[in-house]
Structure 1
Amino acid sequence: MKNKFKLSVVCIALLGLTACNDDDTDTSGLESQIKQLESQNAELNTQNSELTSANASLEEDNANLTNKTEELQTKALGYISTFSHQCAEENVMFDYIDPNAPADEQTQVAALTSAMASEDCMSCHNYEGSDPANVPHGDYGNCANCHENPHDETPPVDPGDPQDPTFPQPEPDDSLVDGKTGASGSFYYTTGSFLNADYLAQRLNGSIYNYEWKEVSDGSGAKTLKSACGLQNREYMADMFPNDGKEYQLSAIKNQMGSKLISTVNKFTDDETLEQVETPNIAIFGYGMKQEEDGNYYVSMSIGKNNTCYNVINEGEARLTYYEYSPMLSAKFERNMGARILGNVDFKRTALKAADWVTEIPGLGAGEDFTPADVDWTAVGACSLVIKVDGIIPLG
């Protein structure tokens, strides 16, 4: 019965053995085949176990490699923190250059002038039509009447010691009150003040340069990291390229290094009491300062007709403050720096203009030594003020 059972199994397994029947008595050949098949099956089972074990090992290795790759990518992102690092991954090599680095200033000035050549002076300060609302920088007007062209390739000069005074300094008294110069206290910020006129002019006229990614959609920018790495002035960009599929330009920006205030006095008649009233007036404008051929220093600004212009012309004087604040510095006299400027109007250099910011009003233009009584304020639309510097004193 056992042999018959084996025979039946073999018949079913081999399917083609139709000669099998109950009368067969010699099964030695089939038993040999069965043993061979059983041996092969055992060998296959062993191989399958080995492959299963190897596969499990490979899966574990793959998981470890995946984790290691993620760790390396995370670590790499820590190193890729600037645009130049990004470009290095694209095999585009260049070193980042700080656009505000003090080293090798002549080379820096030439490079930045070239970088910003497209931003010529008149594109910043010109006007369109006669409507002052169309003036890009409404409080500046024409660059020639505002300050020296910042795009001129003029090599920087050594301004000297910031605390070496160009003008005589006021002497504080025991009362700690100085109405003449407006000093607060005993000139506490002397060591933080720019008393040297050349040094003050350099700071006051200077700018901080910065580059940023500006999103555009006119085809003038870069959509891929590879193309961004080939943009002009790439070496001045610190921030990483967004690389989000949008189009970006490398945009150059320059800002003043400090705040510029001008103080005047408002004088008017109170509508109810009919009394003469005086109130302080403080405004922020972007004035410049330079030394003219006559050896004197002058502050100039081009502004619209406003309280400041009206007060400066009628009073013939103004007090100006230049102030730099660095919130990350701990030393008080490094954190707060600047100076105060005392000055009187130079009516011969000053010009009052019509609403188009260009046409000088007859008798009130540059080169005409007019007086406040000569001014018809209904005709004035803009003021190109020039103030002769009579003193540079401590910040406070």
Structure 2
Amino acid sequence: MKNKFKLSVLCIAVLGLTACSDDDTDTSGLETQIKQLEEQNAELNTTNETLSSTNESLVADNASLVTQTDKLQEKAVSYISTFSAQCAEEGAIFDYIDPNAPAEETPQVATFASAMASEDCMSCHNYEGSDPANVPHGDYGVCSNCHESPHDETPPVDPGNPQEPTFPQPEGDDSKVDGKTGASGAFYYNAGSFLNADYLAQRLNGSIYNYEWKEVSDGSGAKTLKTACGLQNREYMADMFPADGKEYQLSAISNQMGAKLVSTVNKFTDDETAEEVETPNIAIFGYGMKLEDDGNYYVSMSIGKNNTCYNVINDGEARLSYYEYSPMLSAKFERNMGARILGTVDFTRTALKKSDWVTEVPGLGAGETFTPSDVDWTAVGACSLVIKVDGIIPLG
């Protein structure tokens, strides 16, 4: 029966014969073919199992590669830390331009400075009303009495060695202190001091330019990275676009490079003891310095009526300090730089003004020589001080 079954299957499925019968007795040839086919089928099953296993392994490897690729992509994106690199991912290719690079290396800086100066000066420095709180730049006042060269389009030229003194220097005697100039002991910071008046003026009047993202809501900015990458002056932006769904615009800002301190002496009568008392007074104001036609250097500042103004007028002098600090530098004399300025009031160039910061008090205006005893302080609201530079000595 087994042979008959095999014969029937073979006749139908393999040979397709139509003349098979139960009377056929020689089936050896067919059995051999069946055995061969069974062996081939087993081999095919083995091969199929091997291929299936290999395919499963390849699928697993592919999934692993996809995961690794995603991680590498995330890692690559995490390395993007600048706006220009961020835009490169969007296909917007441009190089970052440092707005504070030397003009001879980056001509585009002049364009930046020009953009910064595009607005009318009075819209920046003037104000309406008599409330000093309305002054956009605090104590700077109007343009004619403002700090020097905040809007110059042409960067200043390097005048040379900053340590080459313009004024005579105090004697450096370690055994003495100098109460007259304020220099004491060894001039430790001589190497970090701007003793050259032209060089000091360049640093003191200069600015650091920068762009920042400013959030807006009037439709003037960009909400997407693609739009941000097409904004004007995009090449000056270093910080990455926030890409948080809010609207931002490129905002140009400028800050002075160092801190400017004015030192004076407070003189008053103690209410309890009725004694005359003197205390030190130190304030931070923006001031500029320049060389005038008479060959002298002058420091000028516009400030409100305060202790500094009162003391400068009454004492007729002031000590000023200009200080630049770079915390990332290791060398002490590169990390700490600046100078101290010794000066006396020029009562002809100085002007005392009313509380509107514009109108000069009669008899106390620019071009009118006056003395401290001439001043009615109840009529004064602001001071445009001009101090003649008598000396520039080392920092600290």
Q: TM-score range by the shorter chain?
A: 0.7 to 0.9
Q: Does 1:359 align with 2:391?
A: no
- Distance, in Å, in 1 between the alignment partners of 2:109 and 2:67 is 49
Matches within 5 A, 1:101-120: 101-102=101-102, 104=104, 107=107, 109-118=109-118, 120=120
Q: Report the CA distance between 1:61 and its aligned residue.
A: 2.8
Matches within 5 A, 1:1-396: 53=53, 56-102=56-102, 104=104, 107=107, 109-118=109-118, 120-396=120-396
| Residues 1:106 and 1:156: Cα distance change in structure 2 (over 3 Å) | farther
8 Å CA contact 1:187, 1:394 repeated in 2: yes
CA displacement 1:45-85 (0-9 Å, x = unmatched) = 88985785465234313322222212321342254221111
Larger mean Cα displacement after TM superposition, 182-191 or 61-70: 61-70
- Distance, in Å, in 1 between the alignment partners of 2:106 and 2:296 is 26
Q: Report the CA distance between 1:347 and its aligned residue.
A: 0.8
| Residues 1:279 and 1:230: Cα distance change in structure 2 (over 3 Å) | same
8 Å CA contact 2:126, 2:142 repeated in 1: yes
| Equivalent position SS for 2:107 | helix
One-letter amino acid matched to 1:136:
P
One-letter amino acid matched to 2:288:
G
Q: Report the CA distance between 1:189 and its aligned residue.
A: 1.1
One-letter amino acid matched to 1:156:
P
8 Å CA contact 1:106, 1:155 repeated in 2: no
- Distance, in Å, in 1 between the alignment partners of 2:184 and 2:395 is 9
| Residues 1:328 and 1:119: Cα distance change in structure 2 (over 3 Å) | farther
One-letter amino acid matched to 1:147:
H
CA displacement 1:250-281 (0-9 Å, x = unmatched) = 11121111110000000000101111111110
Q: Report the CA distance between 1:220 and its aligned residue.
A: 0.8
- Distance, in Å, in 2 between the alignment partners of 1:155 and 1:215 is 30
- Distance, in Å, in 2 between the alignment partners of 1:285 and 1:48 is 86
Compute the TM-score of the two structures, normalised by the length of structure 2: 0.85
| Equivalent position SS for 1:183 | coil
- Distance, in Å, in 2 between the alignment partners of 1:294 and 1:95 is 46
- Distance, in Å, in 1 between the alignment partners of 2:54 and 2:155 is 73
8 Å CA contact 2:290, 2:297 repeated in 1: yes
8 Å CA contact 2:103, 2:109 repeated in 1: no
8 Å CA contact 1:121, 1:149 repeated in 2: no
| Residues 1:365 and 1:105: Cα distance change in structure 2 (over 3 Å) | farther
8 Å CA contact 1:109, 1:153 repeated in 2: no
- Distance, in Å, in 1 between the alignment partners of 2:200 and 2:129 is 36
- Distance, in Å, in 2 between the alignment partners of 1:196 and 1:329 is 23
Q: Give me the CA root mean square deviation.
A: 2.9
| Residues 1:55 and 1:144: Cα distance change in structure 2 (over 3 Å) | farther
Q: Report the CA distance between 1:209 and its aligned residue.
A: 1.3
| Equivalent position SS for 1:286 | coil
Q: Report the CA distance between 1:324 and its aligned residue.
A: 0.8
Q: Report the CA distance between 1:294 and its aligned residue.
A: 1.3
One-letter amino acid matched to 1:361:
V
Q: Report the CA distance between 1:152 and its aligned residue.
A: 2.7
Q: Give the fraction of aligned pairs with identical amino acids, expressed as a percent.
A: 84
CA displacement 1:119-168 (0-9 Å, x = unmatched) = 55334322122211111122111132022342232342231110111111
| Residues 1:114 and 1:141: Cα distance change in structure 2 (over 3 Å) | same
One-letter amino acid matched to 2:92:
V
- Distance, in Å, in 2 between the alignment partners of 1:200 and 1:217 is 42
- Distance, in Å, in 1 between the alignment partners of 2:99 and 2:294 is 34
| Equivalent position SS for 2:61 | helix
- Distance, in Å, in 1 between the alignment partners of 2:160 and 2:248 is 42
| Residues 1:121 and 1:54: Cα distance change in structure 2 (over 3 Å) | farther
| Equivalent position SS for 1:271 | coil
Compute the TM-score of the two structures, normalised by the length of structure 1: 0.85
One-letter amino acid matched to 2:283:
A
8 Å CA contact 2:305, 2:382 repeated in 1: yes
8 Å CA contact 1:166, 1:197 repeated in 2: yes
- Distance, in Å, in 1 between the alignment partners of 2:173 and 2:155 is 42
8 Å CA contact 1:106, 1:156 repeated in 2: no
8 Å CA contact 1:176, 1:186 repeated in 2: no
- Distance, in Å, in 2 between the alignment partners of 1:222 and 1:46 is 63
CA displacement 1:360-394 (0-9 Å, x = unmatched) = 11111111111111111001111010001011111
| Equivalent position SS for 2:395 | coil
- Distance, in Å, in 2 between the alignment partners of 1:107 and 1:185 is 45
Gaps in structure 2 of 5+ consecutive residues: 3-21, 23-33
| Residues 1:265 and 1:184: Cα distance change in structure 2 (over 3 Å) | same
- Distance, in Å, in 2 between the alignment partners of 1:93 and 1:115 is 23
Q: Report the CA distance between 1:92 and its aligned residue.
A: 1.2
| Residues 1:80 and 1:315: Cα distance change in structure 2 (over 3 Å) | same
One-letter amino acid matched to 2:295:
G
CA displacement 1:290-345 (0-9 Å, x = unmatched) = 11111111000000000000000011100000011111212111111110101111
Gaps in structure 1 of 5+ consecutive residues: 3-25, 27-34
| Equivalent position SS for 1:113 | helix
